[in-house]
Amino acid sequence: MRKYLAFLTICLAVISVAAAQPKQKTLLAIFAHPDDENMIGPVLAKYARLGHNVYVIIATDGKDGTRVTKIPAGDSLGRLRQQETICACQKLEINPPIYLQIDRLDTKHGVRPYLNGRKKAMAEVKRYIEKLKPDVLLTFGPDGEYGHSEHIVTGALVTEVLLKEGWVDKYPLYFPVDIQEDVMDNDDLSYIDKKYINLKVVFSDEDGQKMIEAAKCYVTQFTPEEISELVETASKNKSNTKYFRKFVVTNKTQAEFWD
């Protein structure tokens, strides 16, 4: 009898501990280019550190990203940028990146190639959402962070997939946003009024440092001076907070616009 009671006590203790542990969630972030994910790098690092599954989908290989590097645009640069993203994901301690291998998501090479790429991207996004069944989706909002056309298209096609499939409630979608005081020195960045913020994610200094280490992986995209500026900016920002706006659709119907 005593052995049975001891066994029962152990079982109840194990069940209690298991019940107390938070359920593992899946976060899926979908962006246009290698390095885009680092705009919310500390957030991705935080949830990975807390034991959740964090995935990043990169729509294009960024083979035309020649702003910093002397490597000419093309497949070689694209392959290198993919390796940089693998390095960055390792620094953030999240799952390896998923590539959709889309050439471009704008009309630089013509309208038809753009439409074909967009169609392929939507099909792949739908496939990965069905496969990974994320508890949270993250992507660009309508501002595309600073009006970048491929950012805007990527966010729009993710949103369109949810609307077409009736998944808005099933897979909650959040857009990373900035507030005005955080972009005062950079008028290229977009911001929203604070009243439209639905979520404030606070991250640790450790998470912020992982973002800096991830940025260092992108040697083709950031100069040493830009990395130093990033470190300085991060050290000045003591709030350790990233803001998000949730994508919400009302089911209310009305007879007139002004009802």
Of residues 53, 57, 38, 74, the one with CA closest to residue 123: 57
At 185, phi and psi to the nearest 5? -90, 5
The answer as to whether 78 is a domain residue is: yes
Reported residue count of the chain is 259
Domain that holds residue 122: 24-246
**pLDDT tens-digit profile of 25-56?**
999 999 999 999 999 999 999 999 999 999 99
Whether 253 maps to a domain, the answer reads no
Percent of the chain with pLDDT over 70: 90
Q: How far is CA 156 from the centre of its chain?
A: 14
CA distances to 86, 133, 223, 230 from 96, rounded to whole Å, are 6, 17, 24, 24
Task: State the pLDDT confidence band at 2, using cuts at 50, 70 and 90.
Answer: low
Q: Pick the residue with more confidence: 18 or 240?
A: 240
Local structure of residue 108 (DSSP, 8 states)? T
Note whether residue 219 is domain-resident: yes
CATH of the domain at 146: 3.40.50.10320
Tell me phi and psi for residue 165, to 5 degrees: -90, -5
Q: Residue 14: its pLDDT value, please?
A: 46
Domain count, the chain: 1
Lowest mean pLDDT among 60-69, 77-86, 201-210, 229-238: 229-238
Determine, yes or no, domain membership for 19.
no
In 3D space, the residue among 129, 133, 138, 134 whose CA is nearest the CA of residue 42 turns out to be 138
Residue 252 lies in a domain: no
CA distance 209 to 49: 13
Question: Which of 187 and 112 is assigned the larger pLDDT?
Answer: 112
- What's the average model confidence in pLDDT over 96-117? 95
259 within a domain of the structure (yes/no): no
> What's residue 5's pLDDT?
52
149 forms beta bridges with none
Confidence band, pLDDT 50/70/90 cuts, at residue 1: low
232 vs 151: which has the higher pLDDT: 151
For residue 248, how many C-alpha atoms fall within 13 Å in the half-sphere facing its CB?
8
**pLDDT at position 21:** 57
> pLDDT (tens digit, 9 = 90+) per residue, 206-217?
999 999 999 999
- Model confidence at 18, pLDDT cuts 50, 70, 90, reads very low
Residue 255 maps to a domain: no
CA distance 162 to 164: 6
Q: Decide if pLDDT at 94 tops 60.
A: yes
Is 206 part of any domain? yes
